[in-house]
Every structure is written in C-alpha cells, then in structure tokens.
Amino acid sequence: MSTVATRPIRRAVRFYTAPIGKKAVMALTGVILFGYIVGHLLGNLQIYSSDPDQINRYAAFLHSPSNAGLLWGVRLLLLVAVVLHIIASVQLWRLKHAARPIGYVKKDDVPSAYAARTMVWSGPIIAAFVIFHILHLTTGNVVPLRELGPNAPDVRYNLISGFQHPAIAIFYIVAMVLLCMHLYHGLWSMFQSVGISHPRYTPKLKKAAAVCAILILIGEISIPISVMAGLLTY
C-alpha cells in the first residue's frame, strides 16, 4: 500500500482528534438531522389537509416496496448521523469536564445564552424522545397501531389516538420545546463551527435561526395540541 491511501485516513484521524474537527462533524450531522426534521415536519403537516386520506397516502408512498431502497438509505444516513452526532457530543462533554476540574463557587453567565449552555441536556432528551417516538409510531410498542394494509400504516389514526393520551402528548410537547432550544442555538452555531461568520450577516443569521426554530416548534406542537383540543379527530 502506498502512502497515498493512508494519508486521507491520517488526515481524518488528525481532523477528528481536534475539538474543531469534532465540532465540524457535529455541524455536518446537525445539518442532516435538521434537513430530516424539516422534511418530516412537512410530511406531518399533511394531517391538516382537507383530504383526511392525504397523510396516509403519503405514508403508503414512503413505505411502498419500490421506495424501500430509498427509505433504508435515508434511515441509514440518519442513523449514522445521529450516532456520530452523539459520539462527538459525548466526547466533547467529557473534554469540557476535564478542562475545568474545579468549578466556581459563584459563576454568572453573560450573556445568558441559556440555549447554548444546555445543548448537552437538550440533545440527550431529544435522543430519548426519538427512541420513544419510534417505539410509539413505528414499532407500536407503546400503544397499538393500526394498518390500512401491508406497508400502509394508518398514520392519521395512530397519531390522533396516541395524542389522546395526555401523557404522550405532553411528553411530545416538552421534547419539541427542547428541540426548539437545540435548534435555536444549533442552527447558527453550525455556521460558526465550520468557519462562516460575518459581522453584518451573522446577527441576521442568529435571528433567522431563532425564527426557524420557533416555526418548527409551532408546526410540531400544533399537532398534539390540536388533538388535545379536539380540533383533530379521527
């Protein structure tokens, strides 16, 4: 083997060894996860369609055997992204603790960047949510799911019956708030992490990130709230 082949590996190792490299990985995987969230949200919002079958048709389309390759491709990409995102976050979290073994007796936060400082908490809770969420809506381990046919879940029913349990709905809402906080910081932070910053545009970017995070929050929690309020019924 020539050194030509090993060099990219060596570069990758050196890159990832550095905290900046890890952060770049977090940013990149963050973008993938964010892209998924947006797409997923658009899918979910179809529940408001005047045609009650719309969302189920969409689900059937996604699950159709002809799309299986794509589906598993996306699932794999997401899995890899989540795993890398989590591994990097855990490594950085450990670095943080090693870097300040003795804490302050008194510490103030200026500016009070609450969302930024709580990324390590909002992240794992989101992870826990996702596991719960898959058990709930994909595998049916939480409440029984209904199918309209093979590879055609009755998404509309599953959602509405799920959110009629207040505990489930509230957990979703809490998780969405945390996701919003995660994105509130993450969506501009990832630009900074890969070195994009500009005195004029970065402040605007921060605002855009906040708006985006809040829009996602509104979109997501509207569903459990609508169900609880009786606006969405099967």
Partner 1 sequence: MRIVLHIWRQRNTNERGRMVRYEVPAVNQEMSFLEMLDVLNEDLISKDEEPVAFDHDCREGICGMCGFMINGVAHGPIRGTTVCQLHMRHYHDGDELYLEPWRSRAFPVVKDLVVNRGSFDRLIAAGGFISASTGSGPDGNAMLVPKQVADRAMDAATCIGCGACVAMCPNASASLFMGAKVSHLGLLPQGQPERRRRVLAMEAQAVEEGFGHCTNIGECEAVCPKEIKLEVIARMNADFIRASWGGRDIEEDESEAAKRPRAGSRR
Interface residues with partner 1 (CB under 8 A) are: 7, 11, 14-15, 17-24, 92, 95-96, 98-111, 113, 116-117, 119, 185, 188-189, 191-199, 202
Residue placing its CB nearer to ligand HEM in the complex, 10 or 68: 68
What CA–CA distance (Å, rounded) separates 172 from 168? Answer: 6
User: Closest approach of Cβ 9 to ligand HEM, in Å?
Assistant: 23
Residue placing its CB nearer to ligand HEM in the complex, 86 or 143: 86
Residue placing its CB nearer to ligand HEM in the complex, 1 or 185: 185
CA 187 to chain centre: 11
Query: Which of the listed partners (partner 1, ligand HEM, none) does 199 bind, with a CB threshold of 5 to 8 Å by partner kind?
Result: partner 1
CA of 11: how far to CAs of 19, 20, 21, 143, 174, in Å?
14, 13, 11, 48, 41
190 closest CA partner among 24, 14, 16, 3 = 24
Spatial neighbors of 86 by CB under 8 A, at least 6 apart, are 123, 127
User: Closest approach of Cβ 135 to partner 1, in Å?
Assistant: 30
Single-letter amino acid, residue 202: T
Burial class (CB in 10 A: 0-12, 13-18, 19+), 138: exposed
What CA–CA distance (Å, rounded) separates 111 from 218? Answer: 26
State the maximum Cα–Cα separation within the chain, in Å, rounded to a whole number: 67
Query: Which of the listed partners (ligand HEM, partner 1, none) does 172 bind, with a CB threshold of 5 to 8 Å by partner kind?
Result: ligand HEM
User: Closest approach of Cβ 28 to partner 1, in Å?
Assistant: 10
CA 227 to chain centre: 22
Q: Are 230 and 165 in contact (CB under 8 A)?
A: no
User: Closest approach of Cβ 44 to ligand HEM, in Å?
Assistant: 5
Residue placing its CB nearer to ligand HEM in the complex, 37 or 215: 37
Classified as helix, coil or strand, 67 is helix
Residue placing its CB nearer to partner 1 in the complex, 105 or 131: 105
Give the residues lining the site for ligand HEM (CB under 6 A).
Answer: 23, 26-27, 30, 33-34, 37, 40, 44, 59, 62, 75, 85-86, 89, 92, 119-120, 123-124, 126-127, 130, 133-134, 137-138, 153, 155, 159, 172, 179, 182, 186-187, 189-190, 193, 220, 223-224
Residue placing its CB nearer to ligand HEM in the complex, 12 or 196: 196
